[in-house]
Amino acid sequence: MSRFLRPLVTAAGILLAWELLVRAAGLPPFILPGPGRVLTALAAQHELILRHAAVTLSEIVLGILLGSLFGAASAVLIAASRHARRWLMPLLVVSQALPVFALAPLLVLWLGYGMASKVAMAVIIIFFPVTAAFLDGLRRTEPGWIELARVMDASAFAILTRIRIPAALPALASGLRVAAAVAPIGAVVGEWVGSSAGLGYLMLHANARMQVDLMFAALLVLAVMALALWLAVDRGARAVVRWQPETLAHDHQG
């Protein structure tokens, strides 16, 4: 029960501190509305907010799926093939050396104002943490296991699929958790640059009309949505690597 009470108590404490700050500082609503105003705007505009939230959620989920798939596949190729390592490692480094936010206008120009450019932005952001985490796990496979497999005449493919990849799953799980946390950034930034729907689009329009309470309501929905996605990915990752001792210990402590 404490696992559910702690987040509720934390959220209540944040809302209380927020309300006290607004009242003590005498901040006007167009600077920082109180939580009551934000919740009122959320209730009054819930249909509009949920409609845009569905678009952003679709972009984030597609970005997580595609980014994780490309990242995991790239890590396996880099670990399994020297030729692939020579081609993919520079691409991996360049993908992070360039400012990701600077790519958003280009993606909108190339892919349009629809969902494709936002998904591509999320994929670019997700690609590196998934690839880096999984590749690190593949490289850190226990050498004794690999030597034992070679003594038993196991092929390189069998070693990769039956030893290295299963052993690297905890590292992949860590990368997926990071991906779930950063995926909303790509989608929302893409919506800010150019879009016709989504929570980022809604926040821009609310800001232009000085509807700060609506902007905070959209931001609140985005935060809840991002947290729910992270929890879902975390729960899925725990299920995949449930045999990991650290995961079991963490579960018992919770």
pLDDT digits (tens, 9 = 90+) for 69-92: 999 999 999 988 888 888 888 877
Contact partners, residue 60, CB within 8 Å, separation at least 6: 122, 183, 184, 187, 225, 226, 229
> CA end-to-end span of the chain, whole Å?
9
Please write the tens of the pLDDT for every residue from 195-231: 889 999 999 999 888 899 999 999 999 999 999 999 9
CA–CA distance, 29 with 47 (Å, rounded to integer): 23
Q: Are 160 and 220 in contact (CB under 8 A)?
A: no
What residue type is assigned to position 26 of the chain?
G
DSSP state for residue 31 in the 8-state scheme: T
Which token pair is 46? 């819930």
Enter the pTM of the model: 0.86
Set out the domains of the chain in order of their start, with CATH numbers: 53-204+225-253 (1.10.3720.10)
Please write the tens of the pLDDT for every residue from 136-178: 999 998 889 888 888 888 888 898 889 999 999 999 999 999 9
User: Helices 115-139 and 100-111, interaxial angle, to 10°?
Assistant: 130
CA–CA distance, 241 with 172 (Å, rounded to integer): 10
CA–CA distance, 37 with 33 (Å, rounded to integer): 6
The alpha helices in the chain, defined as continuous H runs, are 2-25, 35-44, 46-80, 82-97, 100-111, 115-139, 143-151, 156-159, 165-193, 199-208, 212-240, 245-253
Residue length of the chain: 254
- As a whole number, the mean pLDDT across the chain is 87
- At residue 186, the 3 state secondary structure works out as helix
Residue 106, pLDDT above cutoff 80: yes
**pLDDT average, residue stretch 40-64:** 95
Tell me the HSE value of 228 on the side-chain side, using a 13 A CA sphere.
Answer: 9
Residue 100, pLDDT above cutoff 70: yes
Please write the tens of the pLDDT for every residue from 222-250: 999 999 999 999 888 888 887 666 544 44
